[in-house]
Amino acid sequence: MNNLVSYQLIRSKRRTLALLITRECKVIVRAPQKLPQKEIDRFLEAHTKWLTYHLLQQQQKAEAEGEISPEEKAKYIRQANEILPQRIAFFADVMGVFPTKVRITDAKARFGSCSAKNSICFSWRLMRYPKEVIDYVVVHELAHIRYKNHGAEFYQLIASVLPDYRKRWALLKEPPVK
């Protein structure tokens, strides 16, 4: 396997092996300090299909992302400032949770976040996805106001508002369509 894919090996005091594919389509293997190279090779061999699939997904996503012009970025920020407050107000009322603050950010690694003080942030990049995906991210972040983890109750709350949330979540893994 390691002949097919080059990777960066990071050894640390961890106990398990892990694979990571970066935004730049680089493969990182995290491994325990004293784990023999043969075991790492076997791990990579066992995860060939996973690696191939996710590398292709990441490459497609990177191509779809491409360069965004300043005009496009400004358009998405305007859309975020128009659409998100409406969707947040609607779902906050339905869910009975209310953020202390809402911000639009330039985040690249995540579409939304919720702080311990119930302030929620959304990346303007979310505007490149369909409305049903935007609604899912809004509901997901609002659910964090009540549940600060991703436990069963958290997902039950999301499902009570968006019964098809899994389908919406899956769309986030696809390249943006707008």
Per-residue pLDDT, 70? 87
pLDDT at position 4: 63
Give 8's pLDDT tier (boundaries 50, 70, 90).
very high
- Please tell me whether residues 149 and 166 are part of one structural domain: yes
User: Is residue 177, in this structure, part of any structural domain at all?
Assistant: no
Q: Dump pLDDT digits (tens) for 24-36.
A: 889 999 999 999 9
**Backbone angles phi and psi of 113, in degrees to 5:** -155, 160
Residue ending a domain, choose from 29, 48, 65:
65
Residues 33 and 47 occupy one common structural domain = yes
Q: Which residue among 65, 80, 109 closes a domain?
A: 65
Q: Total domain count for the chain?
A: 2
What residues make up the domain containing 77? 70-172
**Same domain, residue pair 78 and 158:** yes
pLDDT of the residue at 68: 80
Q: Report residue 63's pLDDT band, with 50, 70 and 90 as the boundaries.
A: low
CATH, residue 130: 3.30.2010.10
| Strand segments (E) across the chain | 7-12, 18-21, 27-32, 101-105, 112-114, 119-123
Q: Are residues 29 and 117 located together in one domain of the fold?
A: no
Q: What percent of the chain is modeled with pLDDT above 70?
A: 94
The overall average pLDDT reported for the chain is 91
Is beta strand 119-123 parallel, antiparallel or unpaired with respect to 18-21? unpaired
Contacts of 69 (CB under 8 A, 6+ apart): none
**Among 23, 48, 65, which residue terminates a domain?**
65
Is residue 151 situated within a structural domain?
Answer: yes
Q: What is the pLDDT of residue 1?
A: 45
Condensed to tens digits (0 to 9), the pLDDT of residues 116-131 reads 999 999 999 999 999 9
